[in-house]
Amino acid sequence: MRFLSSRSRITKIVVAILIVVFALSTVAISYFAMAQLLSQNASQTLTPSPEPTVSPSPTPTHVATPTPTGSSNPMPTPSPPELTTQEKIRNSVMSFIKSNHPETAQFVKDLVWTGGKVTPSNIVGAETYMYYSQSWNVTINYPVVPNAIYKIVADYSAPTIGIPYRIIWTGNWQNEVINETSYVFAQ
């Protein structure tokens, strides 16, 4: 009996070991299968499953107004580019001069500006911009610091017309506020 008793213990131990081995092999096989599946999915291009299509709701059609040139395919007018801070300052200074010095109004019409940054590359910590239009020269200087004070000189000189005129306006701009420091109007 003792023999049977020890034999049943051995059988129970062997069965327990077989169960553990079976369980571990099942986990290993599952892990291997998952790894294979993931590597296949990673290398394949996913194709979406077909979805039902929905007809879009009708959108209003823009009717173009004919252009005066009679073009059959008018092009839309592009929106003007966003102005830089310096260009905004230049424009606000010119409006300030025209509003506060009415005698300048005849010289501040239909201005088309050229110019831009003229700071030499070896200058650090300050910038200079110059703009030109119809005998106007506008120079903007400022340090490159937060909340900078922009110093502006607007100079108009037209010696070639019948009566020579000269306008020299100086001031500064900070936080969208213009401060005039001097103004000269000569004819």
Nearest-angstrom CA–CA distance, 96 and 183: 12
What's residue 20's pLDDT? Answer: 61
Nearest-angstrom CA–CA distance, 93 and 136: 12
Q: Are the CB atoms for 119 and 139 separated by under 8 Å?
A: no
What's residue 72's pLDDT? Answer: 58
What are the structure tokens assigned to 7, written together? 């034999």
For 65-86, what is the mean pLDDT?
69
Answer yes or no: is pLDDT of 88 > 90.
yes
What are the structure tokens assigned to 57, written together? 């709701």
For all residues of the chain together, what is the average pLDDT? 76
Answer yes or no: is pLDDT of 162 > 80.
no
More confident: 169 or 158: 169
Dump pLDDT digits (tens) for 114-144: 999 998 888 889 999 999 998 899 999 999 9
What are the structure tokens assigned to 124, written together? 């650090």
What's residue 81's pLDDT? Answer: 78
Does the pTM surpass 0.85? The reply is no
Nearest-angstrom CA–CA distance, 132 and 111: 9
Answer yes or no: is pLDDT of 62 > 70.
no
More confident: 104 or 58: 104
**How do the domains of the chain map onto residue ranges?**
1-43, 85-186
Answer yes or no: is pLDDT of 51 > 50.
no
Dump pLDDT digits (tens) for 5-39: 667 778 788 777 867 655 565 555 655 555 555 55
More confident: 65 or 165: 165
What's residue 26's pLDDT? Answer: 58
